[in-house]
Structure 1
Amino acid sequence: MHIPAPSSPDRSLGALPDALQRRPRLALVLLCLALWLPGFFSLPATDRDESRFAQATRQMVDTGDYVRIRVGEEERNKKPAGIHWLQAGSVHLLEATGLGERGDIWAYRVPSLLGGILAVLATFHWGRSLVGRRAAFLGAAMLASSLVLVAEAHIAKTDAALLATVAAIMGLFAQAYLRPEQFTARQAAGFWLILGASVLLKGPVGPMVPLLAGVTLAIADKGAPWLRALRPGWGLPLMAAAAAPWFIAIGLATEGRFFEQAVGGDMLSKIGSGEEKHWGPPGFYLLTFGIAAFPGAWIVLCALPTAWRERLHPPTRLLLAWVVPSWLVFEAVQTKLPHYTLPLYPPLMLLGAAWAMDPLRHLPRRWWRGVAAAALILTALGLVLAAQAAALFTLRDMFVTGLLIGPLAALLVLVLLRTAWRGEWGRAGLLGALLAIPLYAAILEGLVPRLQPLWIAPRLAATLEARVPGLTSRDFGITSHAEPSVLFAVGGETSLLRTGADAARFLAAGPGRVVAVGDRAEKDFQAEAKALSLPLQDIGNVTGFNYTRGRWVTLMLFRQGT
């Protein structure tokens, strides 16, 4: 694959002003903010993972216990504490400066936002030595606009921060692989320390990527001269020293339950079965790549045949080794979610950008270009249909913002296809990232926060505040909607009750209590209340759509009558 010299002019990137092209890092940061800030502050806490992570961090901040991870009264022994420490630091900083509060979900999203930005900058920084400056810039821009990263930058959990560590780890690994004689001890120390940080974020996922890439390259090259440059003799102990203190502390604090549940319960269940109904067949990630990597996926798909043909070229070889073995592992694991393969997106975007910027590029066969174009068109159409369906289903109306999404998606597709047809593939890649800004803004800021039936927990909290001001979460119980967003919105001491009868007994157990009873549990609740001779006062209700279970629910609020 021919790599243009970093200084060579290329009109395909003329979509940006020259001033920003001369400051690529500033341009990338501004692009990330334009793509990710819409909806960042206005989207309520989502179920289930985001609310679990945020609530666990909030309880750390409230209690000062930064070792154990708990959601309500339940131990959350699944992931290490790294992301919770980052979120807690964000909350403390925002509260100290008066810019935010621990009740603001966006305060917990800041590490995801910053992690995404660092991942994009790392892709550009280390990508320059692999594909050239302009192609690295284009690849980083395509990464920033990928639908899956846009989503993860809005969610208070691990994956955007993990992406930043993996991008940095593999960037350093690439330097050791390509120029082992120039790889310094300082770079090696950074490699192992960041590897330790990735372990604290998501356990073995971070180390898995360079390990599989290294094994693949060692087999393909019949040797590993780069291994000595990484200095594993003192690097491995350094990585362990970075991660071990918390693991020792959590092991002692939970009497070993963390390792039993995290390894035996969480990790092995993901490998052997589709945990929480997130099962997918082998090939799932390949089939959904056009959606997850929209709008740059079609360029990556066009680039893959050329990348495979030129796999003996060291930078291309390194990028493929970053992707292929880990991708196969993710396809083999039974539990599948679109963001699992996110650590493999930087090399894919760099491969796509290198091909798009190559003036001597080889176009794939016509049928494969048709597949790539279909991925672009169908994903854009899917976004339009999903937005309209959401507005019609939840609001029974064609929401005005939803009407903007169709023209914006059509404009993106038409401009990209026309630009590529003229042979300006690099320009098409960058235009895709830029035209995604208004499209994502219309969805994430204009439409989704206004789909009120989806946001049950904040409406429930507002109703309680209006009808029972001063109610503490220890005096509140709920049945039929035991979602973690309720804990975040109302309070961590909320009692999650299993049945309507449990709700009646909770209400009878003390004065000043309030329960929210789902419509499916009301009959049992009323029967038990009658058996207990419990007078009831109906103080309101909240109706919404529980998207985690795919059903409508009405929560009726009761307290003891007089």
Structure 2
Amino acid sequence: MNPLPRLPPIVSTALLALVLAFAFLGTRGIWDPDEGRYTNVAMNMLDTGDWIHPRRSHEVGHWTKPPLTYWAIAASVATFGREPWAARLPAALAYLLCTWLAWRMARRLLPESRDGPVQAALVYATMLLPVGAAQMITTDYVLAACETLAMWGFVEARFGSSRRPRAWLVLMWLGFALAFLAKGPPALVPLLALLAFNLWVPGPRRHVFQWSGLLVFVLLALPWYVAVILDTPGLFRYFIGDEVVNRVTTNEFGRNGQWYGWLAVYLPTLLLGALPWTGALLRSAKGLPGHFRRWWREPAARAQDAPRLFLVLWLALPLLVFCLAQSRMPLYLLPLFAPLALLVARQRNEEGKGFPRAWRLLAWLAVVFALRIGAVHWPTHKDAAAWAQAIRERSDGPVEEVVFVDDMARYGLHLELGAEVEKISLAPLPQPQPKFSPEYDEDLASELAEHEPGVVWVCKQAAWPGVQARVVASGYRVEVLGAPYEGRVLFRVERAAQEPGIGTRERKPVIPARS
């Protein structure tokens, strides 16, 4: 049944996707650490005008991800204002692009089905993981959109009726170039599926590595890397050693690197993330062993069932790489939900099932919106909007910077409060510090020596006596700003008066009681 019976299916699906993309987009504050970290880097680009060197503060660069996501967030905020919804807009647009691309690819991969393309778009638009991630600030949705664009180019070149397949392969390499700017070498993992498909399926060859496409990739993807590597000694080794090799081969970053981590992370992600279409996905997976036996034994079967084989390779080979890698996170699978949606649509088409009944779809939308409303009211100490409100209520002057002492930095305050954010160490930092991705921006002594105006300091209540003593011993006095918030003391620091009889001893600040 058409989800909105009075409208054509393609129109009703498009309207549904638009509602899911933009409803409640700005009702939740920026959540740290991930949303805050990405937004903070984008805000630093806007504040400094330097869009080449990602920075988490004016002292420290942020090189863990290439710049495309930061560029998208910064451009959106510069256009629409410093609002959470503007920072999330690139993810929402990436979700819409993936939905549209699912429809476009289904026209080639499900040509025998009249409703198959629209069903593929509907499945993708309503799957829990894609629709949930559409309102999260993350590099993974920008990556997913770019990789899906690349795969569409290949689908048109390999399965389409176009007489100009080279143009589609140029589009494929353009998509991979943008993906490479979003996440670096892991963005090229889907190439394994393309190469395997071209080697395994007889028929007209579409050479993936054709010179015009490679030229587009080189001209778009590499200039930023060349510029920053030449400008920053040691960066190439960091990119390859830490951000590629160590993430793949070690659990250095603490991301589910145990032998069973792939099962604990990716199985629930696939089963829950595919809701409400998990049943069709499982039925499709049930038949795969039989298909594989036929494909292995009969070349003609591979050619006859080429669309399904392509989708299975697109899903299975990257998934195998993600399982073998020692760094595992649920959103790593987000780019694989496009082939999942196409496989589900194909399964439903083979079963003769049309659109779901309107009441079932509306019930699922009610669940999605309930989850979004719940996220808005979810009590969490990671909500930068609540932190911004607490700081405003306690400060009688402008806040230019927020300094967190031995505590998780709430980088979302850069957008929510319009203040720079730093994380510092109470103890002196050992020298030399790591050049890339150090834990702290600087230490207490260095921060005090800057004498910056409009700074609010934050530390845990349990650490407050030690922080206060160290600040006072350095020749400064502190002013506590109201009651503790989320187990933290908020305070300002001023130079102690130099005249006899005036100083911190005569103006001893009140030590807040521990909650």
TM bracket, shorter-chain basis: 0.7 to 0.9
Deviation at 1:316, TM superposition (A): 0.7
Partners of 1:531 and 1:242 lie apart in 2 by 53
Question: What's the CA shift for 1:212?
Answer: 0.9
Please say if 1:61 is aligned against 2:46: yes
Match for residue 343 of structure 2? 351
Residue type of the partner of 1:130?
A: L
| Cα distance change on mapping 1:489 and 1:32 into 2, 3 Å | same
What's the counterpart of residue 194 of structure 2?
Answer: 214
Q: Residue type matched to 1:441 in 2?
A: F
**Partner residue, 2:8:** 20
The reply to whether residue 334 of structure 1 matches residue 334 of structure 2 is no
The answer on 1:87 being equivalent to 2:66 is no
1:46 positional shift: 1.6
Matches of 1:224 and 1:520, distance apart in 2: 69
Residue pair 1:71, 1:492 contacting (<8 A) in 2 also = no
Range moving further from structure 2, 323-332 or 446-455: 446-455
Aligned ranges 1:372-383 → 2 under 5 Å: none
What's the counterpart of residue 501 of structure 2? none
How many angstroms apart in 1 are the aligned matches of 2:330 and 2:455?
A: 41
Cα pair 2:94 2:141 within 8 Å, conserved: yes
Matches within 5 A, 1:129-208: 129-131=108-110, 132-179=113-160, 182-208=163-189
Contact conserved, 2:102 with 2:121, CA < 8 A, in 1?
yes
> 2:102, 2:341 within 8 Å by CA — same for their partners in 1?
no
**Deviation at 1:434?**
4.0
Matching of residue 254 in structure 1 with residue 254 in structure 2: no
Letter in 2 for 1:48: P
**Counterpart of 2:500?**
none
| Residues 481 and 492, structure 2, Cα contact 8 Å, conserved in 1 | yes
Q: Deviation of residue 291 (structure 1)?
A: 1.4
SS of corresponding position for 2:115: helix
- For the pair 1:39 / 2:45, whether they are aligned, the reply is no
Cα distance change, pair 526–88 in 1 and its aligned pair in 2 (3 A): closer
1:497 and 2:424 correspond:
yes
- Please state whether the residue corresponding to 1:494 is helix, strand or coil: strand
**Alignment counterpart, residue 75 of structure 1, candidates 57, 61, 79:** 61
- Report the AA paired with residue 165 of structure 2: T
CA distance in 1, matches of 2:456, 2:93: 40
Q: Provide the C-alpha distance between the structure 2 equivalents of 1:519 and 1:505, rounded to a whole number of angstroms.
A: 22
Secondary structure, counterpart of 1:301 in structure 2: helix
Distance 1:212 1:558 in 2: 55
Aligned to 2:463: 521
Q: 2:100 aligns with which of 118, 121, 144?
A: 121
Distance change in 2, residues 1:457/1:340 (3 Å): same
Q: Which residue of 2 aligns with 1:443?
A: 371
Contact 1:500 1:517 in 2 (8 A): no
Match of 2:250 among 265, 268, 273: 273
Q: Distance in 2 between matches of 1:430 and 1:339?
A: 29
Counterpart-to-counterpart distance in 1, 2:315 and 2:242: 27
Structure 2 CA distance for partners of 1:238 and 1:509, relative to 1, 3 Å? closer
Letter in 1 for 2:4: L
- Check whether the contact 1:20–1:27 (CA below 8 A) recurs between aligned residues: yes
2:87 counterpart (108, 123, 130): 108
CA offset at residue 335 of structure 1? 1.0
**Contact 2:403–2:422 (CA under 8 A) maintained in structure 1:** yes
Tell me, in whole angstroms, the C-alpha distance in 2 between the residues paired with 1:212 and 1:180: 24
Are residues 108 and 429 of structure 1, via their aligned partners in 2, closer, same or farther at CA, if it must alter by over 3 Å? farther
Letter in 1 for 2:262: P
Distance 1:519 1:316, change over 3 A: same
Residue 281 of structure 2 aligns with an amino acid whose one-letter code is: V
Superposition deviation, residue 66 in structure 1:
1.0
The residue type paired with residue 435 of structure 1 is: A
How far apart, in 2, do the equivalents of 1:319 and 1:505 lie?
Answer: 55
Q: Is the 8 A contact 1:38 1:440 kept in 2?
A: no
Q: What's the CA shift for 1:140?
A: 1.8
Partner of 1:373: none
Preserved contact between residue 300 and residue 353 of structure 1 (Cα < 8 Å): no
Name the aligned partner's letter for residue 114 of structure 1: L
Any unmatched runs of 5+ in structure 2? 296-301, 429-442, 495-503, 508-515
The CA distance in 2 between the partners of 1:91 and 1:512, in whole Å, is: 24
Q: What is the rounded CA distance, in whole Å, between the counterparts of 1:40 and 1:29 in structure 2?
A: 17
- Cα 1:530–1:93 change in 2 (3 A) is closer
Deviation of 1:42 after TM superposition, in Å, equals 1.2
Which AA in structure 1 matches 2:465? K
Deviation track 1:133-156 (CA, whole Å, cap 9, x = no partner) reads 412222222212222212321122
Instruction: Please list the CA deviations of residues 50-77 of structure 1 after superposition, one character each: whole Å capped at 9, or x if unmatched.
Output: 2111111111111111111111132111
The 3 A distance-change label for structure 1 pair 216 and 542 is farther
Q: Which residue of 2 aligns with 1:537?
A: 479
Alignment map for 1:2-17 (pairs within 5 Å)? 13-17=1-5
Contact 2:247 / 2:253 at 8 angstroms: preserved in 1?
Answer: no
Distance 1:530 1:256 in 2: 39
Whether 1:305 aligns to 2:290 is: no
Q: How does 1:357-436 map to 2 (within 5 A)?
A: 357-359=349-351, 425-428=353-356, 433-436=361-364
Could you tell me which residue of structure 1 aligns to residue 315 of structure 2?
Answer: 323
Q: Distance in 1 between matches of 2:460 and 2:204?
A: 63
Partner SS, residue 463 of structure 1: helix
Change in 2 beyond 3 A, CA 1:254/1:29: farther
* Distance in 2 of aligned mates of 1:432 and 1:265: 47
Number of paired residues?
463
Counterpart position of 2:298: none
**Pair 178,459 (structure 1): closer, same or farther in 2 beyond 3 Å:** closer
Correspondence for 2:14: 29
Aligned with residue 466 of structure 1, among 375, 388, 393: 393
Tell me the residue number matched to 2:513.
Answer: none
Asked whether the equivalents of residues 460 and 542 of structure 1 are also in contact (C-alpha less than 8 Å), the reply is no
Q: TM-score, normalised by structure 1?
A: 0.75
Partner AA of 2:3 in structure 1:
A
**Counterpart in 2 of 1:282?**
262
Give the structure 2 partner of residue 397 of structure 1. none
